[in-house]
Chains A and B, each alone.
Chain A
Amino acid sequence: MKVNTMAEMMANGQTPEILFWVGCAGSFDQRAQKITSAFATILDKTNINYAILGKEEACTGDPARRAGNEFMFQMMAYQNIQTLNGYNIKKIVTTCPHCFNTLKNEYPALGGNYEVIHHTTLLQELIEQGKIKFTDSNEWKGKSITYHDSCYLGRANEIYEAPRKVLESLDMELREMKRCKSKGLCCGAGGAQMFKEEEKGDKRINAERADEAIETKSDFVASACPFCNTMLTDGLKNREEEVKTEVLDIAEIIAQAIQ
């Protein structure tokens, strides 16, 4: 797969219609890299003219800011906004709800104004516009799936429907967990928890959420955030002797069904 960077495009005098902000998890985490590739495949197949920042991309500063390190957040934001504005970026799509939230809601106050969309919203649009067509042997049809709301997509930005509509377009049977949508239970990774041990308690948050997902007795668990994906996968691992459920990103599901 050939993925263009902004620098390459610029050198060729081209302007992409959209920048794909990959994010740190999507770039470095082995599991999340698969999500990144799946989404890039979809962008390719739908002939979307996109680019990535490549080596010029840097952490948005989200975990630093939420941990309380505003200095580090401001430094990262300054650097990224310089890069983005330097390339005159207008529209960004990202597969990470944390990057999405920061780029969309927190960069404008610092001089970074872009139209930012999450990949589930873009996928929903592409399906509605008929730009994503599914293969005749839609292997997802009739399979049951439960969707885990990412806090930074759901409560933080009130995106509850796009990922669900994408799954329904595949004729999957959507089963809701006890706590879903605005009542969705966090996977345990937000607020920089991903980067530290949990405080002491009775149970791990990801185990609690994995149990709720198991209760739905679904064939698959869908997520739309690389961190939720990791947390839920870990949570399910503890119960793998009893249940075999795989956590898949919405993009991975679509990538497997697309023509």
Chain B
Amino acid sequence: MALVAEIIFILLTSLALFSFAKKLGKIGRNIHLGKAVIINDQKASRFKNILLLAFGQKKMFRNPLVAILHLFVYVGFIIINIELLEIILDGITGSHRLFKPYLGNAYNFLINSFEILAALVLFACIVFLCRRNIIKLKRFVSKDLKGWPSTDANLILAIEIVLMSLFLLMNAADKESNFIVSRHLRPYIQNYSPSTLSLIEESCWWLHILGIYAFMNYLPYSKHLHIILAFPNAYYAPLVPKGQMHNMPSVQNEVLYAMQPELAPAEATVPDKFGATDVMDLSWKNLMDAYSCTECGRCSTACPANATGKLLSPRKIMMATRDRLEEVGENIDKNKQFVADGKTLLHDYITVEELRACTTCNACVEECPVSISPLDIIIELRRSLIMEQSNAPSEWNGMFSNIENNFAPWKFSPDDRDAWAK
């Protein structure tokens, strides 16, 4: 019987890991549909960003109270995973608390710490659920999250609560143990027979670990993927001043060759596209940004356009990019290569009105706890609108022609440029 359980466990573990890895592979492939940009400079600063932004959650501490609650969940998640190692080894070998004989008193200390963390995670998740559903914080009831995204957020919190409860109940039902949090649950179950208790313990054990496997496989479909991608995203975060926009060497060269034709190579190659209309035209970092987004909405709260009722929401820019990328990925899965589906990120997912509202103020970039730049995507789409589709409001066309003819965005004579000094 025990052997059967072990075999089932090993099979389920392999299946869970396999399907998780497979989905991650797909996400990796989707990210690489983006344009190749090489980011490998200043490695020391990049590792420092992993420490500060990802491990240290520096941006979260812009709001210390929430940061501490989030830290409970985050530290709890990482540290309780150590216990997961024992749980998995127990499952494979059919042992019960494999580490206990080797660790002695340290074992009790460890499990007690895990239990305290589990209780803190429980507490934080309940507070988070309240913020979303009872207090109804503005950024959590925004129209961006209507439907699935809002369910996703609640589901994640509910799953964490269930997993932590199972872990604590499992320890409470273990009659040989006496741990710091779970012993307070014991009075509620002490009247059960020893066989019932061990059934409770075993059921909790199975539900807990299967729940974790299920959750792991749910991650890649959820906003919760940030727990993995926040780390590489911090590493690849831009290190230049936020005001600095990406240069477009292709356009730079076009202008250079027009001004100095002698520099133009004999066979000039013109890029097939300026700016981005679809996800494949964005950089792989933009696409990783989209998968890293945890839909917290700090960006949209800080956005001056969003705060004054404009259609633009930087969070929605990221969610739309991910949705479109997933759709393109499924298209490739089905057809072996991307077959045009008559849709593009620009227009079908992100409208001109949204793009037009951006003031490029960088508030969204500043706020993002996981180093995402919605602004980068907005600019790439704007470039396509102007340079490929000649789609500009008439005032902008006037501004362009003033710059071209008068060297200033307004219609003044360049001869009057120093008139103020007269």
Residue-wise, chain B 233-268 has the 8 Å CB interface mask toward A (1 for contact) of 000000011111101100110111001000000000
Q: Which of B380-422 contact A (CB under 8 A)?
A: 382-387, 392-393, 395-396, 398-400, 403-404, 407-410, 412, 414-421
Closest A-chain residue to B358, C-beta based? A191
Which residues from chain B contact A70 at a C-beta distance below 8 Å? 248, 251, 274-275, 383, 387
Tell me if B359 and A189 are in contact (CB < 8 A). yes
Segment with Cβ contacts to A, from B132-140, B151-159, B279-287, B307-315: B307-315
State the CA gap A190–B256 with chains docked (Å).
28
> What is the number of residues of chain A that contact chain B, defined by CB distance less than 8 Å?
72
State the CA gap A69–B248 with chains docked (Å).
11
B396 touches which of A65, A195, A202, A205 (Cβ 8 Å): A195
B379 in the interface, Cβ–Cβ < 8 Å? yes
Tell me if B409 and A24 are in contact (CB < 8 A). yes
B366 in the interface, Cβ–Cβ < 8 Å? yes
Tell me if B241 and A201 are in contact (CB < 8 A). no
Tell me if B399 and A67 are in contact (CB < 8 A). yes
State the CA gap A196–B415 with chains docked (Å).
25
Which residues from chain A contact B400 at a C-beta distance below 8 Å? 64, 67, 69, 72
B83 in the interface, Cβ–Cβ < 8 Å? no
B241 touches which of A33, A36, A156, A208 (Cβ 8 Å): A156
State the CA gap A65–B385 with chains docked (Å).
12
- A-B pairs with beta carbons under 8 A, tally: 211
Q: Which of B276-305 contact A (CB under 8 A)?
A: 302, 304-305
State the CA gap A209–B412 with chains docked (Å).
29
Residue-wise, chain A 197-208 has the 8 Å CB interface mask toward B (1 for contact) of 111111111001
Segment with Cβ contacts to B, from A11-19, A54-62, A136-144, A239-247: A54-62
B360 in the interface, Cβ–Cβ < 8 Å? yes
Tell me if B386 and A24 are in contact (CB < 8 A). no
State the CA gap A151–B359 with chains docked (Å).
9
B356 in the interface, Cβ–Cβ < 8 Å? yes
B13 in the interface, Cβ–Cβ < 8 Å? no
Which residues from chain A contact B365 at a C-beta distance below 8 Å? 155
Tell me if B361 and A76 are in contact (CB < 8 A). no
State the CA gap A197–B394 with chains docked (Å).
10
> What is the number of residues of chain B that contact chain A, defined by CB distance less than 8 Å?
66
A26 in the interface, Cβ–Cβ < 8 Å? yes
CB distance from A70 to the nearest CB of B (A): 4
CB distance from A109 to the nearest CB of B (A): 4
Tell me if B387 and A71 are in contact (CB < 8 A). yes
Which residues from chain A contact B404 at a C-beta distance below 8 Å? 72, 75
Which residues from chain B contact A105 at a C-beta distance below 8 Å? 240-241, 243-244
CB distance from B254 to the nearest CB of A (A): 7
B344 in the interface, Cβ–Cβ < 8 Å? no
Which residues from chain A contact B304 at a C-beta distance below 8 Å? 185-186, 188, 205, 208-209
B145 in the interface, Cβ–Cβ < 8 Å? no
Tell me if B244 and A205 are in contact (CB < 8 A). no
Tell me if B363 and A151 are in contact (CB < 8 A). yes
Tell me if B242 and A68 are in contact (CB < 8 A). no
Tell me if A202 and B363 are in contact (CB < 8 A). no
Tell me if A196 and B305 are in contact (CB < 8 A). no
B357 in the interface, Cβ–Cβ < 8 Å? yes
CB distance from A154 to the nearest CB of B (A): 9
Which residues from chain A contact B409 at a C-beta distance below 8 Å? 24, 59, 63, 194-195
Tell me if B418 and A203 are in contact (CB < 8 A). no
State the CA gap A166–B414 with chains docked (Å).
33
Listed by A's residue number, 17 A-B pairs whose Cβ atoms lie within 8 Å are: A3-B421, A27-B418, A54-B417, A54-B418, A58-B408, A63-B403, A64-B400, A69-B386, A74-B251, A106-B247, A109-B247, A156-B362, A190-B361, A191-B360, A192-B396, A205-B305, A208-B307
Closest 7 CB pairs of A and B: A156-B243, A202-B309, A191-B360, A68-B382, A201-B309, A68-B386, A58-B407
* B interface, CB within 8 angstroms of A: 62, 240-245, 247-248, 251-252, 254-256, 259, 274-275, 302, 304-305, 307-312, 353, 356-363, 365-366, 379, 382-387, 392-393, 395-396, 398-400, 403-404, 407-410, 412, 414-421
